[in-house]
Amino acid sequence: MTIRIVLFWIAAACCVVAELAILRSLLFGRAARPDRLEGRLVTAPTPKRETEVAWAILPAVGLLLVLYLTWRAVDAPLTPSADADRGGVVTGV
């Protein structure tokens, strides 16, 4: 197991923990409902719960895509670059 694989899985685990914390606070947090805000000035409309859940899940799906693409790059076999095929000579600099 290489260091880059270990670092990838550590980063993936941190992302999962962070997303779970976001979803947990969204679903089980103690947000004040509009009917309990008597006497307070509410200037912004309160979003619906479904909207909040969608805006919490949408970044998680994007993060899964980024993690998948990163894993493909980390797990790809090392191939020599195109410069190595030309004897290491870099042209056009």
Is 26:53 a contact under the CB 8 Å cutoff? yes
Let me know if residue 57 belongs to a domain: yes
pLDDT tens across the length of the chain (93 residues): 788 889 999 999 999 999 999 888 888 876 655 555 566 666 667 677 788 888 888 988 999 999 999 989 888 777 766 555 555 555 655
Let me know if residue 44 belongs to a domain: no
Cut 0.75: pTM above it? no
Is 13:83 a contact under the CB 8 Å cutoff? no
Let me know if residue 24 belongs to a domain: yes
Let me know if residue 41 belongs to a domain: no
Let me know if residue 59 belongs to a domain: yes
Is 42:34 a contact under the CB 8 Å cutoff? yes
Number of domains in the chain: 1
H or E element in which residue 17 lies: helix 3-28
Q: Which domain holds residue 22?
A: 9-29+49-74
Let me know if residue 17 belongs to a domain: yes
d(CA 40, CA 62): 37
Let me know if residue 91 belongs to a domain: no
Identify the CA nearest to 22 among candidates 46, 63, 56.
56
Let me know if residue 20 belongs to a domain: yes
